[in-house]
Structure 1
Amino acid sequence: MTAIKNLSRYVRSKNAGPFWMTIDIFCDSTEDYSRIKKSKDSLPEKVAALYEVDKDSMMFFFADDLLTVKISIPKEKPQGHKYESDMHSGQQFVRILELQID
């Protein structure tokens, strides 16, 4: 098993509107990208547990030409909520860096 941070060149998170955030995983090689893509059957459960959301509420996109995985996750609190701690979702990628891929 290998951590996402070791299979990617760059990982970022950002708002995708007030109710969603997106995590982008950019890979340098086809091999690394393929390892993540091949785990797409187990990936939703792992990410759902990590971000404490229902796995059926997330969306996964695999951009083969760009060697990039995009994960859209509903936000627990909408952007600007008085108890929201990351207004732009820019720090949310940190949790996924240690996620282990088969």
Structure 2
Amino acid sequence: MPDHTQNPPLLGDFAIEVRSKNAGPFWVTMETFMKDSVGYSIAADETFLNEQVIADLYGVDAAQVQFFRIPALNVVKISFPRPVTQGGIHDRDIHAGQHHVPLATLKVPERHLTDNTRVA
């Protein structure tokens, strides 16, 4: 676990992997594979990570964001329409392989941390 005494922890700090990929030419899917149930409880907490947060991060309509929370696997999957059609003239990431970066670098607010997630 990283030392968070100086910097607030990021969602990616609690994950084995945060990845994104295209889900066809019109959708992006992102997956957070959390290290344990503590990390999953942060990623799955709807007061921290929800449709509006994703809409704000990616400039999409919150009503079209879909969440799939899978506690048995410590995974949260998120899908939303691609802002630009895959392969279109303005598409800068044809495989959506870099879309995960804003999600992985999302700061986890202090109120979502417990003694189990802090490192002295």
TM-score of the alignment, normalized to the shorter chain, above 0.5: yes
Q: Which runs of 5+ in 2 are unaligned?
A: 1-7, 113-120
Aligned: 1:48 with 2:51:
no
Q: Which entry has the higher C-alpha Rg, 1 or 2? A: 2
Q: C-alpha root-mean-square deviation of aligned residues, in Å?
A: 1.4
Q: RCO greater where, 1 or 2, for CA within 8 Å and sep 6 or more?
A: 1
More strand by share: 1
Q: Which runs of 5+ in 1 are unaligned?
A: none
User: What SS does the corresponding residue of 1:100 show, helix, strand or coil?
Assistant: coil
Residue identity over aligned pairs, in percent, reads 36
- Residue 7 of structure 1 and its aligned partner are, at CA, apart by 1.5
Task: Provide the TM-score with structure 2 as the length reference.
Answer: 0.78
Task: Provide the TM-score with structure 1 as the length reference.
Answer: 0.90
**d(CA) in 2 for partners of 1:97 and 1:34?**
15
More helix by share: 1
| Contact 2:68/2:78, CA 8 A, preserved across alignment | yes
- Residue 28 of structure 1 and its aligned partner are, at CA, apart by 1.2
* Number of residue-to-residue matches in the alignment: 101
The answer for the alignment partner of 2:37 in structure 1 is: 30
